[in-house]
Amino acid sequence: MKLHCDGQPVTLAALRTIWIEPAQISLGDDARRRIDESAAVVQKVVDSGKSVYGVNTGFGQLAQVSISVNDLARLQENLVRSHAVGVGPLLPDAIVRLILVMKIVSLAQGYSGVRSELIDTLCALVNHEIYPSIPVKGSVGASGDLAPLAHMAGALLGLGEVSVDGQIMAAKDALGEAGITPLTLAPKEGLALLNGTQVSTALALAALFRAEHVLAAAITSGAMSADAVKGSDTPFDARIQDVRGQPGQVTVASLLRTLMQGSEIRASHLECNRVQDPYSIRCQPQVMGACVDVFEHVARVLQTEANAVSDNPLVFAESGDILSGGNFHAEPVAMAADYLALAIAEIGAISERRTALLIDSHLSGLPAFLVRDGGLNSGFMMAQVTAAALASENKSLAHPASVDSLPTSANQEDHVSMATFAAHRLHNMLDNVSSIVAIEVLAAAQGIEFHHPQNSSAVIETIIQQVRLFSPPYETDRSLSGDIEQLADLIDGGSFCEPCRTVLPSFEA
């Protein structure tokens, strides 16, 4: 992936690629001109002796303290050192790569007053695959992601640790081996690095990309379950969707029809007496379609934020003004993450209900718990319990983070977004729902095979064949734990995306 920063917005598809694989990034001439003009405004302020927040003053409640010219470099380094107080596990390299790229994109727009040299050093980290070690916890998502971005900034100074080829090493040593000179920060540069929503946004973007994989798998597993219980595809008729008009619903119903097209199982019961299926089968277009619409909204918000200038104060070179505002407040990211959490929870909730339907012989018409010799064998009884446990856990995790706020910095920062946690908790939810959907795929495959020699659609039978490469049919009781984990990994990795690419925002960009 090669990215040339020269004023063009970064697409969602490019961000997905940066999340997946290493990237090469560079600055264009127009970007350098804007950056240099902005930095010149800051230098003019320093030369004039005028007090401007973040340039020659303290920070937060200490903003009234003037700093002498001789201490300006130390001021910025002290800011980085004092704010690097994150705790918890380190962010994965893929997410750190997104953070670095988005910070470059933001600074390169020329509103932050930093030098080209600083941005070039950030580019060098990306290009040499040197990823700062950033603990995941410690940000409340206002005044930017201060603590985690301080750990990122420290690496530019040769402070702290970094990840290189998956190994943790001292930042100073990694820079030396790559031939990168550690920076001495100029006025405002530490603040420009620490202010910003890049950590929250990277976590949310990575969750969106993973959620797309789960969404695709859950639409597919829903079609499989519908066929396994001899459900009707009439509720997926285009006419029903069109009179409501919700775009996600229309799209999901079309996908379900395509996935089930040509099923011999469906053809075998066209004239059956069943009037209506349970909601988890019948209302898939409405539920999953609403999730698709959520994904579209979240994608728009996050793509905008990925291209945003979110530090403070901002430098407007044309007028020479330096304006203090609040673009670092990550409320848009927090609310988008909370909205995405609802969709993730619902994907898991309806999937678990379909698994419960499959194992209930009174409703599904299949052998109890999807196994021969029930009683002697318990079949999928406990697999559904696991799905229920995970779905219930996701209900708690779906509680909105953005409604919480604790004042910080002696009440100077009296309302915060909690965006970093809002985005980070999505990954725990996605781990859960990947397993929930994996359980449904295994159960639905078992159910469909009870109908053989009547086959499902060609698409679904191909999926079952792929599952059977590592998970044989359930004949007698055995542990399904390994099967579930392996299938969940395939789901998380995007193995089910191909039939459903049209509903995945980052695949369309």
- Per-residue model confidence (pLDDT) at position 59: 78
Q: Of all residues in the chain, what percent carry a pLDDT higher than 70?
A: 99
What local confidence, expressed as pLDDT, does residue 271 receive? Answer: 74
Average pLDDT over residues 61-88: 90
Predicted local confidence at residue 310, as pLDDT: 96
Q: Of 383, 341, 392, 364, whose CA–CA distance to 487 is shortest? A: 383
What pLDDT, on the 0 to 100 scale, is given for residue 37? 97
Which string of DSSP letters, residue by residue, matches 238-286?
A: HHHHHHH--HHHHHHHHHHHHHHTT-HHHHTTTT-S-----HHHHTHHH
Tell me what the mean pLDDT of segment 372-380 comes to.
95
**What's the whole-number mean pLDDT along residues 422-448?**
98
Summarize the confidence of residues 384-391 as an average pLDDT. Answer: 98
Residue 340 near residue 297, CB atoms below 8 Å: no
Instruction: Read off the pLDDT of each residue in 172-186 and give the average, rounded to a whole number.
Output: 97
Averaged over 400-418, what is the pLDDT? Answer: 82
DSSP designation for 377: B
The residues, ordered by sequence, that sit 6+ positions from 260 with a Cβ below 8 Å of its Cβ are 223, 226, 227, 233, 236, 266, 456, 457, 460
Grade residue 509 by pLDDT with cuts at 50, 70 and 90.
very low
User: pLDDT by residue (tens digit) across 320-375?
Assistant: 999 999 999 999 999 999 999 999 999 999 999 999 999 999 999 999 999 999 99
| 111, pLDDT greater than 60 | yes
Confidence of residue 508 (pLDDT cuts 50, 70, 90): low
Residue 153 and residue 196 in contact, taking contact as beta carbons nearer than 8 Å: no
Give burial (CB, 10 Å; 0-12/13-18/19+) of 218.
buried
Burial category of 245 from C-beta neighbours within 10 Å (exposed 0-12, middle 13-18, buried 19 and up):
exposed
Cite the active site residues: 53
| Contact criterion met (CB below 8 Å) for 44 and 320 | yes
Q: What is the per-residue pLDDT across 453-498, written as a single tens digit (0 to 9) for each? A: 999 999 999 999 999 999 999 999 999 999 999 999 999 999 999 8
Q: What percent of the chain has pLDDT over 90?
A: 86
- pLDDT, average across residues 11-17: 96
Q: Are 7 and 32 in contact (CB under 8 A)?
A: no
Q: Is 376 exposed, middle or buried (0-12, 13-18, 19+ CB in 10 A)?
A: exposed
Residues 6 or more apart in contact with residue 310 via CB below 8 angstroms: 106, 144, 195, 196, 197, 198, 327, 328, 330
Q: Provide the token pair at 7.
A: 């004023």
- CA 425 vs CA 234, 242, 255, 338: distances in Å: 37, 35, 29, 10
pLDDT digits (tens, 9 = 90+) for 276-296: 899 999 999 999 999 999 999
pLDDT for 251 = 95
Average pLDDT score over the chain? 94
pLDDT for the residue numbered 413: 74
pLDDT of 1 reads: 87
Distances (CA, A) of 251 to 1, 257, 262, 432, 502: 31, 10, 19, 25, 8
Q: How many CB atoms lie within 10 A of CB 246?
A: 15
